[in-house]
Amino acid sequence: MKPMTNAEEKEIMNAIESGAIQIEKPSRKLLSELKKASEKTFKKDCRINVRLSRHDMLGIQMKALQKGLPYQTLISGLIHQYVEGDLQEKS
């Protein structure tokens, strides 16, 4: 899923403000299902050890610092995105 552009966000906000789109309060059932799904998605219950070059490790730490994340979180997020098909290999 690609990020929204400012024009798309503005169009959505205008539709909400004009009443063209009505926002409904989510049901308890939907909230419960979303909570369960998020717990499964973000549960970290496996540990791995990976050997990296110093160059790659420093690069990961710099990228994580720029994003304001711990480097382990960045690595975990990248692996998750790849597994889910959100990261594509260059052809």
- CA dihedral over 46, 70, 73, 91, signed as positive or negative: negative
> Can you tell me the mean pLDDT for 25-49?
85
| 27 is a domain residue | yes
| 19 is a domain residue | yes
| 72 is a domain residue | yes
| 58 is a domain residue | yes
Of 89 and 72, the one with more pLDDT: 72
The yes-or-no verdict on residue 27 having pLDDT over 70 is yes
| 69 is a domain residue | yes
Q: What's the pLDDT at 1?
A: 54
| 53 is a domain residue | yes
The yes-or-no verdict on residue 3 having pLDDT over 80 is no
Range of the domain at 17: 8-83
Rounded CA separation 4/85 (Å): 19
Q: What is the DSSP string of 69-85?
A: S-HHHHHHHHHHHHHTT
b/e string for 9-45 if b means 16 or more Cβ within 10 A?
Answer: eeeeeeeeeeeeeeeeeeeeeeeeeeeeeeeeeeeee
| 33 is a domain residue | yes
Q: pTM of the prediction?
A: 0.55
| 30 is a domain residue | yes
Q: What's the pLDDT at 2?
A: 65
Q: How many separate domains does the chain show?
A: 1
Question: For 5-13, which contacts have Cβ atoms below 8 Å and span 24 or more sequence positions?
Answer: none
